[in-house]
């Protein structure tokens, strides 16, 4: 367990508050101990506005400005768990860095993350925040998530933190054979979290349940 003000926090960001969140996630079906430990250890209160810090360890999405949200911890845990279940790869492409919370949860569990964020202000803040938390296996890029990040493809895993009507073709192309892609698909109010696995040029898709995400916007 890391110490210091940043990690331990006081009052509403205390260890007890975090333990309660982890217990709730367990009750709601999250099984991976590695993922639950990350949810416990990552200081979510540092990723939200100070005014909302007292709500940081509730299992709820919170606004982070610019029309974006920090995802509900259960959703972050579910996506991370689904991505890593049987994962033997090294590199993960993350679409939608946002505030960097999902990135911070995933970072110690994989070798390398390449993360893309359309909104420059969020990208710069997330980059600084992860450096302050001594997370160095992440490469950042401002850009259009629909395009992915061809330079470092193929990726063993792709995690998309915004919803689209369908899986962007370019992301499918950047997924390595044997790799898996996790993303929400569908219109607002009827989104489904899906997992796509690639077997050479054949793609298998399964549903992981209903979710609610901001849309994956095209363009920079």
Cis peptide before 154 (omega within 30 of 0): yes
Main-chain dihedrals φ then ψ at residue 23, nearest 5 degrees: -60, -40
Whether the Cβ atoms of residue 106 and residue 135 lie closer than 8 Å to each other: no
* DSSP codes joined into one string, 131-144: HHTT--SEEEEES-
Q: Which residue is associated with the tokens 């200081």?
A: 43
Question: 11: Cβ–Cβ under 8 A, 6 or more apart, which residues?
Answer: 54
71 annotated active-site: yes
Distance from C-alpha of 100 to C-alpha of 192, rounded to nearest angstrom? 23
Neighbours of 33 (CB within 10 A): 9
Q: Which residue among 71, 91, 207, 212 is the active-site one?
A: 71
Q: Which residues are catalytic?
A: 71
């Amino acid at each position: 367990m890391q110490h210091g003000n940043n990690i331990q926090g006081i009052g509403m960001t205390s260890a007890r508050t975090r333990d309660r969140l982890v217990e709730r996630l367990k009750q709601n079906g999250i099984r991976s101990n590695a993922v639950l430990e990350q949810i416990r250890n990552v200081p979510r209160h540092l990723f939200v506005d100070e005014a909302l810090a007292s709500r940081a360890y509730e299992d709820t999405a919170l606004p982070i400005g610019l029309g974006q949200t920090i995802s509900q911890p259960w959703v972050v845990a579910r996506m991370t768990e689904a991505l890593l279940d049987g994962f033997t790869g090294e590199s993960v492409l993350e679409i939608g860095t946002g505030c960097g919370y999902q990135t911070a949860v995933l970072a110690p569990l994989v070798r390398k993350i390449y993360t893309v964020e359309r909104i420059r202000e969020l990208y710069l803040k997330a980059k600084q925040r992860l450096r302050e938390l001594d997370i160095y296996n992440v490469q950042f890029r401002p850009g259009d998530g629909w395009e992915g990040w061809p330079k470092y493809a193929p990726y063993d895993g792709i995690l998309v933190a915004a919803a689209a009507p369908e899986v962007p073709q370019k992301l499918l192309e950047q997924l390595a054979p044997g790799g898996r892609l996790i993303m929400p698909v569908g219109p607002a109010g009827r989104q489904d979290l899906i997992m796509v696995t690639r077997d050479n040029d054949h793609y298998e898709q399964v549903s992981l349940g209903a979710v609610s995400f901001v849309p994956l916007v095209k363009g920079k």
